[in-house]
C-alpha cells in the first residue's frame, strides 16, 4: 500500500545552487539532479529525517518537515498504528525499530527537582573550592582487617576508578562503526572513564585502550576469547538490555562485513542474532557460576558487572545478583537505546529506570547488602541533571549511549537498523564510516563530559556538597512535582513543598 511520505523535503529553489551536496550525502538516495530541467528533485518516501542534507546545504535551501497529509484523525488508531498494521498485512513481518522508546510515557527525571542551600548552610563555589567527582565501583568489604603490625590491610576486591560518575554504555562494533568505537575508546582514555565494547568483540586496534575498556560477554558469546577477556578493565555479563528485555542482540547481516565479522568470529553477511537467554544461565545459581568462571579465567583481577534490563521484579533480581559474586550491577531502563529491536518489545516491555533504580537501591539497603555491589544506572540519562538525580536516588554511576551518539553527530532519526547512517555512526559502509572523524568524534565526547562535569559540580556545590560520595543515595536532596503518593513512595522522595 502506498502512503504519502512521512516527511516532505522543502527546497527553496531560489537559494539552491545545484551543488548536489545533498545528493552525495544522502545514503537513502532521496535527492537527485535532473539534467534536463536543471533542478534538484527528491523522492521523499526514502527520507528518514536524519537532517544530514539540511546540515550540509551551504545555502540553507533545504528543510525537512513533517508531512501534514495524514489519515483521518483518530485518538485510538493513530496514523502510525494504522500504517504499522498495513505494513504487517503486507509483509507478515515483525516490525523493527532503533534507538530508545519515543512514546510519551512518563519521564520521572523531569518530575524530580534538586535542592540548593540557603542561609542555614552555605552553597560551595566550584570555581573557588575543590569539588570531587571521583568514584570507585566494586565490592566493598563489610569489615576492615589489619596486618600484624596494626596497619590497615588495604587489599580490596578489584575496583574501577572513574574520574566522574559517567561511562559510555555498551554499543557493539558492528552496530556502530570502527570510527565510532575509536572515538569512544579515545575519549574514555582521555577522560579517565570507561567505554563498553558491547557484544561484538573488540577490534584488535583497540586493545591498547584496554585500561579504559569494559568487555562484554553476551548470550551469543560473539568475539569472546581469553585475550578479549583479559584485554579490558572489567567484564560485563549482559543478561538483558532496556530497549529489548527478554530477547538477545540483533545485528543485521548487512552490517556483519569485513572486520566486523572477523571480530565477532561469524561468517560475513550472516545475521548475528543472540539467544534470548544465556544457554548456561537458566537461574540465579547458574549466573553465579558464570561470574566465577570469568573471574577464574582472569585471575580475579577484574570486577564483573552484570547488566540487566529494568523489569517488574527488578529489586528481587538485583538482590539475587548482589549475592551472586558480581561486583557491579548495571540496570538499563525501558527508554534505553538500541541499534535494532522489535518495535513492540522496545515500546512495551520494561519499566522506567528511575523507579527501578530507586527500588533496587532501597531493597539492597533493606537487606544490608548495598555494599556488596555498585549500581550503574542507564537507559536514557540525558544530561548532567539526570546524572545528579540518578546519583541522589542511589546510583554509583551512569551509563550513557544515546547522548554519546548525539555528541558524535547522531540526529536520532531512529534508522540504525538500516545500516545507512549518514553520520557514519551506525553503519559499516566505508564511504559513510569515514564521515565520522575520530579526532573530532572523541573531542566532542570529551567536551560533552567536561561540560557535564562542570554542571555536576555546580549542582553539587549548590547543595553544599563537595564530593560525589556525599550525594549518592542522598534522596533528601530531591523533591517530586506532580507525582502520586505511590510514585513518591517508590522513588523514596518527598513532594516539593514538604
Interacting residues with another protein (CB under 8 A): 117, 120-122, 124, 129-130, 132, 134-136, 140-141, 143-144, 146, 151-152, 154, 156, 159, 365, 368, 370-371, 463-467, 469-477
* Shortest spacing between CB 139 and another protein, in angstroms: 10
Nearest to another protein of 139, 414 (CB atom) = 139
DSSP H helix total and E strand total for the chain: 15, 21
* Pairing mode, strands 374-378 and 304-309: unpaired
Q: Strand, helix or coil at 237?
A: strand
Nearest to another protein of 89, 119 (CB atom) = 119
Q: Strand, helix or coil at 162?
A: strand
The separation between CA 294 and the C-alpha centre of its own chain, rounded to angstroms, equals 24
Nearest to another protein of 412, 470 (CB atom) = 470
Residue 375 to residues 93, 97, 291, 369, 391, Cα–Cα distance (Å):
37, 28, 16, 12, 10
Least Cα distance to 330 among 304, 312, 355, 301 occurs for 304
* Shortest spacing between CB 134 and another protein, in angstroms: 6
CA distance 124 to 128: 8
- In sequence order, the 6+-apart residues with CB closer than 8 A to the CB of 405 are 171, 176, 180, 337, 425, 426
* Shortest spacing between CB 362 and another protein, in angstroms: 9
Nearest to another protein of 67, 467 (CB atom) = 467
* Shortest spacing between CB 212 and another protein, in angstroms: 18
Nearest to another protein of 390, 463 (CB atom) = 463
Distant-in-sequence contacts of 442-447, Cβ < 8 A, 24+ apart: 442/182, 442/183, 442/184, 442/186, 442/187, 442/190, 443/187, 444/183, 444/407, 444/408, 444/409, 445/168, 445/183, 445/184, 445/187, 445/191, 445/404, 445/407, 445/408, 446/187, 446/190, 446/191, 447/407
Nearest to another protein of 437, 466 (CB atom) = 466
* Shortest spacing between CB 217 and another protein, in angstroms: 26
* Shortest spacing between CB 357 and another protein, in angstroms: 14
* Shortest spacing between CB 197 and another protein, in angstroms: 26
Nearest to another protein of 14, 121 (CB atom) = 121
Nearest to another protein of 40, 471 (CB atom) = 471
Nearest to another protein of 4, 300 (CB atom) = 300
User: How many residues appear in the chain?
Assistant: 498
* Shortest spacing between CB 461 and another protein, in angstroms: 10
CA distance 267 to 409: 30
Whether the Cβ atoms of residue 306 and residue 253 lie closer than 8 Å to each other: no
* Shortest spacing between CB 405 and another protein, in angstroms: 31
Nearest to another protein of 242, 461 (CB atom) = 461
* Shortest spacing between CB 450 and another protein, in angstroms: 18
Nearest to another protein of 127, 144 (CB atom) = 144
* Shortest spacing between CB 328 and another protein, in angstroms: 14
Q: Strand, helix or coil at 368?
A: coil
Least Cα distance to 278 among 291, 266, 268, 267 occurs for 291
Dig out the grid coordinates for 145 from the structure: 582487617
CA distance 352 to 361: 14
Q: What is the DSSP string of 383-405?
A: SHHHHHHHHHHT-SEEEESHHHH
Q: What is the DSSP string of 91-140?
A: H----EE-SS--S----GGGGEEE----SSS----TTTS--B--EEES--
Amino acid at each position: 500500500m502506498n502512503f504519502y511520505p512521512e516527511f516532505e523535503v522543502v527546497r527553496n529553489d531560489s537559494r539552491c545552487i545545484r551543488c548536489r551536496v545533498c545528493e552525495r550525502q544522502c545514503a537513502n538516495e532521496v535527492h537527485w539532479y535532473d539534467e534536463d530541467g536543471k533542478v534538484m528533485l527528491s523522492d521523499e518516501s526514502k527520507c528518514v529525517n536524519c537532517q544530514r542534507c539540511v546540515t550540509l546545504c551551504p545555502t540553507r535551501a533545504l528543510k525537512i518537515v513533517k508531512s501534514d497529509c495524514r489519515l483521518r484523525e483518530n485518538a485510538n488508531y493513530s496514523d502510525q498504528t494504522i500504517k504499522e498494521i498495513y505494513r504487517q498485512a503486507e509483509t507478515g513481518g515483525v516490525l523493527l525499530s532503533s534507538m530508545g522508546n519515543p512514546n510519551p510515557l512518563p519521564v520521572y527525571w523531569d518530575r524530580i527537582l534538586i535542592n540548593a542551600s540557603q542561609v542555614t548552610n552555605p552553597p560551595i563555589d566550584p570555581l573557588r573550592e575543590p569539588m570531587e567527582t571521583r568514584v570507585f565501583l566494586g565490592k566493598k568489604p563489610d569489615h576492615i582487617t589489619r596486618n600484624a603490625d596494626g596497619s590497615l590491610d588495604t587489599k580490596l576486591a578489584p575496583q574501577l576508578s572513574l574520574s566522574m560518575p559517567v561511562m559510555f554504555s555498551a554499543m557493539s562494533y558492528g552496530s556502530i562503526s570502527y570510527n565510532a568505537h575509536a572515538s569512544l575508546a579515545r575519549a574514555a582514555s582521555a577522560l579517565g572513564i570507561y567505554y563498553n565494547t558491547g557484544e561484538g568483540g573488540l577490534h584488535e586496534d583497540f586493545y591498547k585502550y584496554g585500561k579504559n575498556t569494559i568487555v562484554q560477554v553476551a548470550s551469543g558469546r560473539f568475539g569472546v576469547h581469553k585475550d578479549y577477556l583479559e584485554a579490558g578493565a572489567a567484564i560485563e555479563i549482559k543478561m538483558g538490555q532496556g530497549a529489548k528485555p527478554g530477547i538477545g542482540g540483533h545485528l543485521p547481516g548487512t552490517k556483519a562485513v569485513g572486520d566486523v565479522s572477523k571480530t565477532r568470529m561469524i561468517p560475513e553477511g550472516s545475521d548475528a542474532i543472540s539467544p534470548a537467554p544465556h544457554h548456561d544461565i537458566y537461574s540465579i545459581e547458574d549466573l553465579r557460576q558464570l561470574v566465577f568462571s570469568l573471574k577464574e579465567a582472569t585471575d580475579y583481577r577484574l570486577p564483573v558487572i552484570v547488566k540487566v534490563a529494568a523489569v517488574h521484579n527488578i529489586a528481587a533480581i538485583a538482590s539475587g545478583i548482589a549475592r551472586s559474586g558480581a561486583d557491579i550491577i548495571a540496570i538499563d531502563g525501558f527508554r534505553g537505546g538500541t541499534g535494532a529491536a522489535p518495535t513492540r518489545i522496545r515500546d512495551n516491555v520494561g519499566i522506567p529506570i528511575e523507579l527501578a533504580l530507586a527500588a533496587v537501591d532501597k531493597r539492597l539497603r533493606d537487606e544490608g547488602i548495598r555494599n556488596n555491589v555498585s549500581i550503574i544506572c542507564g537507559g536514557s540519562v540525558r544530561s548532567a541533571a539526570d546524572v545528579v538525580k540518578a546519583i541522589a536516588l542511589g546510583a554509583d554511576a551512569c551509563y550513557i549511549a544515546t547522548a554519546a551518539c548525539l555528541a558524535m553527530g547522531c540526529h536520532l532519526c531512529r534508522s540504525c537498523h538500516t545500516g545507512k547512517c549518514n553520520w557514519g555512526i551506525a553503519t559499516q559502509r566505508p564511504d559513510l564510516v569515514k564521515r565520522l572523524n575520530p579526532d573530532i568524534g572523541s573531542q566532542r565526547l570529551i567536551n560533552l563530559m567536561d561540560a557535564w562535569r562542570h554542571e555536576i559540580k555546580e549542582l553539587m556545590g549548590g547543595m553544599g556538597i563537595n564530593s560525589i560520595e556525599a550525594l549518592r543515595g542522598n534522596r533528601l536532596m530531591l523533591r517530586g512535582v506532580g507525582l502520586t503518593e505511590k510514585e513518591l513512595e517508590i522513588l523514596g522522595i518527598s513532594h516539593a513543598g514538604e
